[in-house]
Structure 1
Amino acid sequence: MSAQPAAPPAAEPMTHREVLEALSGLLLVLFVAMISGTIVSVALPQIIGALEGSQSQYTWVVTASLLASTASTPIWGKLADLFNKKLLLQISIVIFMVSSLACGFAQNTGQLIAFRALQGLGMGALQILAQVVIAAMISPKERGRYNGYLGAVMAVATVGGPLLGGVIADTSWLGWRWCFFIAVPFTIAAFALLAKTLHLPTVRRADVSIDYWGATLIAVGVSVLLIWVTFVGNSFDWLSWQTAAMAGGGVLVLMVATWVEAKVREPVVPLHVLRRATPALAILASLAVGMAMFGGSVFLGQYFQIGRGYGPTAAGLLTIPMMLGVLLSSTISGRMVSASGRTKPYILVGLVVLLAGFAGLATIDHETPIPLISVYMLAVGVGVGMSMQNLVLVVQNTVPLREIGAASGAITFFRSLGGTVGVSVLGAVLANRVATGITEGLAKAHIPVSGGSAAGGSLNIAALPEPVKTIVRAAYGDATGHIFLISAGIAVVGLIAAAFLRPARLRDSLDLPAQAAGETGGQKVGAS
């Protein structure tokens, strides 16, 4: 079995021009997919208001796409190892385009949540398949340069989404539905561009085996845990029967999934890869970067709008230092990685800078000077840019080409999981701190406490009386620093994990040497 997959790498590698042509389509579709995950964050109050939705539905519009994207990532990665990568990429583009149209035409929040879940499937597929296709075109040593572009696009999309959403929300003749419609022309262009420029060898395998049980169990287990994290502390207590049922049930399902993955011939998540020190440490470090990438963009945008009183567009513009930091550092470090063949020094420096940025953001309140916050955001952006894609590169460098999809899917899955859980946990901490701050502020001002004000349940700050408005803004501004203190603690864990990475030079070949690939395959069969 291990000898059959060794034949495809003999195909002629793509030239630099062909790589750039195909890369343009990949980066375009990846940008649109990632920006769709953040573009609604600023416009969401307007969307939920227009569809007459509730606060719980407000949360689920975001959570549904994150759940579907995170849970399906390793499955798409495994499918990329078994089937034609270009065809899978085209299928995922169609799924994403159709679901984006459906979201734009949704008539109620129930429909919107369902269509967002479908959109999440497409988003997860595009994020991992873009990385898998790049890995199939370019050797690890050269990949650093191109991964710099990839990291820059991902980061700009993550931070730029709220800015674009703010512009759309502030433009009366567009309306919130264009937060979804705007993706359609770009996906059509990317589909046409990739159909013309992307040429990959078709790997036909007679011994294809799809792990349906493992895929289902992983999706169910992760979804249950993420649903629990989303609602614990709000809908029910941390110590409750709901927590025992959901957290315990989710862990149990994932334990069964691990047992299944250890037994099947073609596991969705290759346990033999995760058992190696280098991929395991890289995955642990990527959890911290995931929290930085998602948490930073979500809560800083909210801080500027609610805590400081800026409009949606202005709030998006104020996050530009972080976007600029990622853009420059990912591009420059990517070229330096390709030139030197080493990744660990850049990952370590990036995580140190990331920690410094979070430590700075942990000190902010509702009166911190904006220029000082910009310096902290720039540091966070530089840290994310230097570490995010280089951690993926570390894992890809350790596996043969035939396992590149599953390995890339594993680290992307855990990074997305870290980001999703991070947003949920930090959001819960923020909500509790805000509620406490508002209650204390109202008591000091001798203002009667009403349910909505005390709970911080209303995000329509403009409708509040002036004294209450000032108290609510101060509560949000002061509470934001506490969640970044938690993020700084997580960044320390990532830095420690990266410090133990074994220094290794990136290989020049697309695939591992024949002997090494054979040994890896042998480990895989043995593990099964």
Structure 2
Amino acid sequence: MAGSMSMLVGARAIQGLGSGGLMVTATALIGEIIPMRERYQRMLGAVFGVTTVIGPLLGGLFTDHLGWRWAFYINLPISVVVIVVAAATIPALAKATRPVIDYWGIVLIGLGASALTLATSWGGTTYAWSSPMIIGLFVGSVAAIGVFVWVESRVSEPILPPRLFRDPVFTICCVLSFVVGFAMLGVMTYLPTFMQFVNGVSATVSGMRTLPMVAGMLITSTGTGILVGRTGRYKLYPVLGTATMAIALALLSRMDNSTPFLLQSLYLLILGVGIGASMQVLTLIVQNTARFDDLGVATSGVTFFRTIGSSFGAAIFGSLFSNFLAREISSVKVPPEATESPQALHALPHDAAIPVINAYADSLDLVFLCATPVAVIGFVVALFLKEVPLRGTDSALAADMGEGFGMPNSFSPDKLLEIAISNAMRGFPHIGLHKLREHAGVSMPIAPLWALVQANRFLRATGSAEVSRIAQWYRIPPEVIDPAFNELVENGYALRTNDHIWLTDPGRQEVDKISEAINQYLVERLSSTPDFEDRADREQIQAALERISRRIVTDTDWRENPIPALPGASPAR
């Protein structure tokens, strides 16, 4: 509905606020329920790949047949579906403590980054590099960033603590994240332009021609997630990824209007492989090495540098492209619309169009060529990346805030640790009652033990435990589980009045044994990591383990290990 560029830009700013909130919420929810060493990285990579495929295709289709406004209209029904699904499925979370927000830090870094992006975008195109506007933007950016650094060293909860940069792993990951964002978005922005102006294809076809790159990104992002999860090693992937990016960009810089489609697709596939291998593991690396109380800001810091790199890449490459193209076509005698519309350009006779086509090809090749040394810098930096073996549980203590988590978390370190260990449990092999019974030294048979933990679960959750409610929960007849609860009563572990069950002191002691067995299991998992014994926060971890162990006994429904001693017990899945 925008009637002017100002209205469009303003609406896009509002849209950015909403999408930023969605990104934070989505990644935070993922961090709550999915452990790091299983599907988190691969799921994000898959979502990114699918949306990257659908976006250009729909955008090109709308541009060719319906108009650019449909690129925004299509989001309205999608948003309605998301709202309905979110309202129905997102679980209620415990109310967090009031967060301490670094408002000054947010404003200053926003001003500094925006001014620098505008300076690199407008310089040499809208304004001369020596103009007061561009110089003022550079000076303002430096001043804002300088004040930001000063503020961050003094506030209690900085959005980007300066101490993080004392860690060489974090610093290198930030540089790599900047490089990947710089090269990736800077190049991806101009690939459709090359295909439409140089190859003469429609917007829809140009979107389809980027599919090899998206396929490469999807394959390597999911593949590296699997390999890192299985091996715990990650340094190889950013090294190979940045090297592959450099090779692909050098190849792309050699394209012209005679480059065959298959060769062009091969170059894009190689580029996608490099980007996918480099992009997905950087957050995981930081989460594996940062201090526990810095996890939220460390992961958001890496994401911030990639975002800034993307903005700078698009701005700087855009400035290079515009300046070089203007110089190349200044002497070409064609209608003005032919230099701005690919349809008008390719409607001209071949001899008249070829100078403009070559000018676009040379200008875009310059963009790809200038991106090559950026990827080479990333390769050199990646060689200095220190590798800390990714550990099963210790890595899961990285609270997995998600790549889009751009603000300090509102949880205390103790609460974050409890959440992280709870998340880590989802990555462990299933802990069944058989195993826990042996580990805890409980002599009770499996059937009454299952009844015991179910009674404890319902008593803790609702204040009362009725056999009929437990049976209804598992969708099995009460007669099937009655004998197990009667056995509890006969052995003094519970009292029963009609349908109601209460645990006796011996029953509660058996529950405590199970809780301690879970605690020991977690300790054994943590102890398998090389530095667990020397961790400064080991007491915090132990206290969190005890809380988690007690909660697991209450929260787990033990569906995979119901009452095997009783025939006919088949709980609903």
- Return the TM-score normalized by structure 2: 0.65
- 2:78 equivalent to 1:186: yes
Distance 1:395 1:125 in 2: 23
1:496 to 380, 384, 388: 380
The Cα shift of 1:160 comes to: 4.2
Asked if the contact 1:155–1:326 (Cα under 8 Å) also holds between the matched residues in 2, the reply is: yes
Which position in structure 1 is the counterpart of 2:397? 511
Q: Structure 2 vs 1, CA of residues 463 and 364 (structure 1 numbering), >3 Å: closer, same or farther?
A: closer
Q: Which amino acid aligns with 1:109?
A: M
Which position in structure 2 is the counterpart of 1:210? 101
Distance 1:189 1:234 in 2: 42
Distance 1:393 1:125 in 2: 22
Asked if the contact 2:49–2:215 (Cα under 8 Å) also holds between the matched residues in 1, the reply is: no
Residues 286-332 of structure 1: CA distance to partner in whole angstroms, max 9, x if unpaired?
Answer: 11211233123211111000111111111111111101111111112
Q: Structure 2 vs 1, CA of residues 275 and 186 (structure 1 numbering), >3 Å: closer, same or farther?
A: farther
* Fraction of identical pairs, as percent: 35
Residues 233-277 of structure 1: CA distance to partner in whole angstroms, max 9, x if unpaired?
Answer: 012222333222110111111110111011000011232223311
2:154 to 244, 248, 263: 263
Distance 2:45 2:288 in 1: 17
Which position in structure 1 is the counterpart of 2:354? 470
Residues 440-469 of structure 1: CA distance to partner in whole angstroms, max 9, x if unpaired?
Answer: 5x3xxxx4x88x489x45666348743443
Structure 2 matches for 1:21-36, cutoff 5 A? none
- 2:171 equivalent to 1:280: yes
Residues 362-397 of structure 1: CA distance to partner in whole angstroms, max 9, x if unpaired?
Answer: 211222222111111101101111111111111122
Distance 1:133 1:407 in 2: 18
- 2:117 equivalent to 1:117: no
- 2:371 equivalent to 1:482: no
Which position in structure 1 is the counterpart of 2:111? 220
The Cα shift of 1:475 comes to: 1.0
Q: Which SS does the other structure have where 1:365 is aligned?
A: coil
Asked if the contact 1:359–1:485 (Cα under 8 Å) also holds between the matched residues in 2, the reply is: yes
Distance 2:356 2:26 in 1: 42
Which position in structure 2 is the counterpart of 1:134? 30
Asked if the contact 1:361–1:481 (Cα under 8 Å) also holds between the matched residues in 2, the reply is: yes
Which position in structure 1 is the counterpart of 2:308? 417
Q: Structure 2 vs 1, CA of residues 230 and 366 (structure 1 numbering), >3 Å: closer, same or farther?
A: same
- 2:30 equivalent to 1:106: no
Q: Structure 2 vs 1, CA of residues 408 and 495 (structure 1 numbering), >3 Å: closer, same or farther?
A: same
- Pick which of 392-401 and 372-381 moved more: 392-401
Q: Which SS does the other structure have where 2:140 is aligned?
A: helix
Which position in structure 1 is the counterpart of 2:40? 146
The Cα shift of 1:158 comes to: 3.8
Residues 210-246 of structure 1: CA distance to partner in whole angstroms, max 9, x if unpaired?
Answer: 2111111111111111111111001222233322211
The Cα shift of 1:493 comes to: 1.3
- 2:60 equivalent to 1:176: no
The Cα shift of 1:410 comes to: 1.2
| More helix, by proportion | 1
Q: Which amino acid aligns with 2:121?
A: T
Q: Which SS does the other structure have where 2:280 is aligned?
A: helix
Which position in structure 2 is the counterpart of 1:329? 220
Distance 1:407 1:130 in 2: 18
Bigger Cα Rg: 2
Asked if the contact 1:151–1:388 (Cα under 8 Å) also holds between the matched residues in 2, the reply is: no
- 2:255 equivalent to 1:369: no
Residues 21-41 of structure 1: CA distance to partner in whole angstroms, max 9, x if unpaired?
Answer: xxxxxxxxxxxxxxxxxxxxx
Q: Which amino acid aligns with 1:167?
A: L
Asked if the contact 2:182–2:310 (Cα under 8 Å) also holds between the matched residues in 1, the reply is: yes
1:430 to 309, 321, 325: 321
Distance 1:387 1:496 in 2: 13
Structure 2, unmatched stretches of 5+, are: 399-416, 419-534, 541-573
Report how many residues are paired. Answer: 403
Asked if the contact 1:307–1:475 (Cα under 8 Å) also holds between the matched residues in 2, the reply is: no
Q: Which amino acid aligns with 2:344?
A: I
Distance 1:488 1:377 in 2: 14
Distance 2:372 2:51 in 1: 23
Q: Structure 2 vs 1, CA of residues 460 and 314 (structure 1 numbering), >3 Å: closer, same or farther?
A: closer
Which position in structure 2 is the counterpart of 1:88? none
The Cα shift of 1:203 comes to: 6.2
Asked if the contact 1:160–1:323 (Cα under 8 Å) also holds between the matched residues in 2, the reply is: no
Which position in structure 2 is the counterpart of 1:293? 184
Q: Structure 2 vs 1, CA of residues 421 and 236 (structure 1 numbering), >3 Å: closer, same or farther?
A: same
- Pick which of 326-335 and 106-115 moved more: 106-115
Distance 1:165 1:135 in 2: 31
Distance 1:110 1:511 in 2: 46
Residues 98-137 of structure 1: CA distance to partner in whole angstroms, max 9, x if unpaired?
Answer: xxxxxxx333332221101111222333334433433343
Q: Structure 2 vs 1, CA of residues 222 and 121 (structure 1 numbering), >3 Å: closer, same or farther?
A: same
Asked if the contact 2:173–2:282 (Cα under 8 Å) also holds between the matched residues in 1, the reply is: yes
Q: Structure 2 vs 1, CA of residues 361 and 309 (structure 1 numbering), >3 Å: closer, same or farther?
A: same
Distance 1:492 1:128 in 2: 31
Asked if the contact 1:155–1:293 (Cα under 8 Å) also holds between the matched residues in 2, the reply is: no
Structure 1, unmatched stretches of 5+, are: 1-104, 521-528
Asked if the contact 1:152–1:326 (Cα under 8 Å) also holds between the matched residues in 2, the reply is: no
Distance 1:244 1:106 in 2: 31
Distance 1:371 1:198 in 2: 45
Distance 2:24 2:275 in 1: 18
